[in-house]
Amino acid sequence: MNDILPAEIGRWHAVERAFRRTMEGLAYREIRTPYVEPTPLFVRAIGEETDVVQKEMYSFVHHDEPLTLRPEGTAGAVRAYVEHGVHNHEPITRWYYLGPMFRGERPARGRYRQFYQLGAECLGDAGPGCDAEMIDALAGFLREIGVEAPDVFINSIGSGDTRAKYREALVAALTPMKDSLSPDSQRRLTTNPLRILDSKHPADAEAVATAPTILDFLSEADRTHWDNLRRQLDALGTPYKVDPKLVRGLDYYTRTLFEIKGSYDKLGAGSTLIGGGRYDGMVKDLGGPAVPAIGFAAGLERLLIASNLEVSPSVVDVFVAPVGEGTDAPALVLARDARRAGLRCEVDTRKASMKAMLRRANALGARVCLIVGDREVAEGVVELKDLASQVQEKVARADVVARAAAVVGSPAPPPQEGGA
């Protein structure tokens, strides 16, 4: 779990802003759900046999009630959707969220115990139009925040019947090699055989390579959905790769599955930036009507590692430096006037030397320093110093805020040879 200090927060804000802009452009609205939910919600929604439920949840009992810090956002969103009967009010629901998630995993680069996810859920549309739109918009979002060449992988794991038939075929193919599988995969052969496909254990490599492919088992309806998804992605011009081994770690998925990876050089094994898919059965499983849905989640820390986005480190536009006795009050008033004009402003009432104050002004990235001295106050003027050009001028108190705003809004001159 990490502290995020103010020096880093500018990049977080920039990615969050880009995400909100993307989702609101697609008619999604923000939902905020509690960080804590009853444990059975996650067990039910995510699946008993998943790593998240078996090994990673922060669960505790409070007054006899089993509770868990949310390890992901979909279960809580669907719980809220059912609890508030949202399907009664609108045929299609588009929600996005951002916030912390908690998983007790082994920490690694891009893998934390409290991490932040950006995600969204579209409920009420069986797709594949909204699937294609979501994937295309996410690739665009990644490019916008400076992830070059995002790599989109898609698969279909079909719906109930397809899955049952495929599961049978997979178990039949893998059972003869059971003894050579990793211990985890041996167990999964009876509990969750599909997960063997994304095992990274070297002992499972051969079994995974020779296993039958789910795309050969799609029912007619699943096949139509899959073909149309690809056709629509083609029409949108989003490049993608089909990965029939893509199964993902959460049990709730049906039909469309996707992952977007990028920045392999910076993230290595943790280069999955966004994971998502369709979960047509979950609303009903959690006590609602049969409502189809699709969603995704992106790891914010990973997006920040992957993105080459740069943001201005400037904290203020204007720095007000009172000099001498009795200048604090006029300085405070001047700073407030500057803020009312929309300028970010710090006033330094430490009684520090001019040199120390200018050092502070530069450290904060101020463009303008307003010097308020006894004589200036008596004369009704302020010394305005453009910290980029080093030009200083005397400005009437009545005009100084407008003048400061004009300087802040003007381009900074190129740095002088040898420094000013």
Among 103, 163, 225, 385, binds ligand AMP (CB under 6 A): 103
Cβ closer to ligand AMP: 72 or 125?
72
Shortest reach from residue 314's CB to ligand AMP, in Å: 29
**383: helix, coil or strand?**
strand
- Cα gap 46→70, rounded to integer Å: 11
Tell whether residue 115 is a contact of ligand AMP (CB under 6 A).
yes
H helix or E strand, kind and range, residue 141:
helix 129-144
Task: Candidates 103-111, 129-137, 170-178, 205-213: pick the segment binding ligand AMP (CB under 6 A).
Answer: 103-111
Is 120 among the residues that bind ligand AMP (CB under 6 A)? no
112 binding ligand AMP? (CB under 6 A): yes
Interface residue with ligand AMP among 57, 196, 267, 273 (CB under 6 A) is: 273
Q: Which of 93, 272, 307, 327 binds ligand AMP (CB under 6 A)?
A: 272
- The least CB distance from residue 274 to ligand AMP, in Å, is 6
Q: Is residue 72 close enough to count as binding ligand AMP by CB under 6 A?
A: yes
- Min dist. Cβ of residue 323 to ligand AMP (A): 49
Residue 262 makes contact with ligand AMP by CB under 6 A: no
Q: How far is the CA of 389 from the CAs of 36, 411, 418, in angstroms?
A: 53, 10, 13
In the complex, the smallest distance separating the C-beta of residue 102 from ligand AMP, rounded to whole angstroms, is: 9
The residue among 146 and 365 lying less far from ligand AMP, judged by its C-beta, is 146
Tell me whether residue 73 or residue 322 sits nearer to ligand AMP (CB atom).
Answer: 73
d(CA 368, CA 390): 9
Q: Is 121 in the site for ligand AMP (CB under 6 A)?
A: no
Q: Give the number of other Cβ atoms within 10 Å of residue 225's Cβ.
A: 22
Near ligand AMP by CB under 6 A: residue from 47, 193, 275, 330: 275
Would you say 128 or 295 has its CB closer to ligand AMP? Answer: 295
**Which C-beta is closer to ligand AMP: that of 150 or that of 330?**
150
Given a contact cutoff of 8 angstroms between Cβ atoms, the answer to whether 264 and 290 are in contact is no
Cβ neighbors of 183 (< 8 A, separation 6 or more) are none
Shortest Cβ 411–ligand AMP spacing (Å) = 38
Q: CB of residue 73 vs ligand AMP: minimum separation in angstroms?
A: 8
Binding residues among 298-327 for ligand AMP as defined by CB under 6 A: 298-299, 301-302
What kind and span of H or E run contains 30? strand 29-30
Stretch near ligand AMP under the rule CB under 6 A, chosen from 191-199, 291-299, 305-313, 376-384: 291-299
Is the bond into 239 cis (omega within 30 degrees of 0)? Answer: no
CB proximity list for 93: less than 8 A, separation 6 or greater:
81, 86, 87, 121, 122, 123, 124
Q: Which residues contact 62 (CB under 8 A, 6 or more apart)?
A: none
Letter string b/e over residues 333-357, b meaning 16 or more CB atoms within 10 A of that residue's CB: ebbeebeeeebbbbbbeeeeeeeeb
Q: How many residues bind ligand AMP, per CB under 6 A?
A: 18
Cα gap 23→11, rounded to integer Å: 18
Q: Quick one: 121 or 348, whose CB is closer to ligand AMP?
A: 121
| Least distance (Å) between residue 374 CB and ligand AMP | 56
Beta strands, E only, 269-410: 272-278, 293-299, 318-323, 345-347, 368-373, 381-386, 392-396
C-alpha to C-alpha distance for 65 and 45, rounded to whole angstroms: 18
By beta-carbon proximity to ligand AMP, the closer residue of 73 and 127 is 73
Helix (H, G, I), strand (E, B) or coil at 123: strand
> Which residues contribute to the site for ligand AMP (CB under 6 A)?
72, 103, 105, 110-112, 115, 117, 249, 272-275, 297-299, 301-302
